[in-house]
Amino acid sequence: MIDFEKILQELKKVLTDLFKDKYSEFTKESKKDVEAILSDSKEKLERWTILLAEGKITLQDFKWLLEAQKDLLHMKALYKVGVSKISLGHFKNKVINTIFDVIKGVVFG
């Protein structure tokens, strides 16, 4: 059985570090955005992670589902403090890839 709360804690840590590396001058805003991303996508991520672990979807399917959510990642706090949409758009790809890598690592060891 997958301990999804443990996965969420790992995602929060890894994403917080990722945001800190890229937007170190906006630590408070980054933290808000990480929490919003995980809160907004928790149910879907949990459902997809379980399907992946049970072999009901492939790793490619899982990646596609994550990438389909890219436009739903709203980094409102960072945008409000002046980070450009273009910069955030590129950064969203890193966020998606990071989520993918963490969950793949947990499911497949």
pTM for this predicted structure = 0.93
Q: Give the list of residues 6+ apart from residue 91 with CB closer than 8 angstroms, or none.
A: 22, 75
The pLDDT of 25-42, averaged and rounded, is: 94
Cα distances (angstroms) measured from residue 27 to each of 30, 35, 56, 102 = 5, 12, 38, 22
Instruction: Give the integer Cα–Cα distance in Å for 79 and 83.
Output: 5
Inter-residue contact 62 to 97 (CB < 8 Å): no
Instruction: Give the integer Cα–Cα distance in Å for 37 and 8.
Output: 11
pLDDT range class, residue 13, cuts 50, 70, 90: very high
pLDDT digits (tens, 9 = 90+) for 38-92: 999 999 999 999 999 999 999 999 999 999 999 888 899 999 999 999 999 999 9
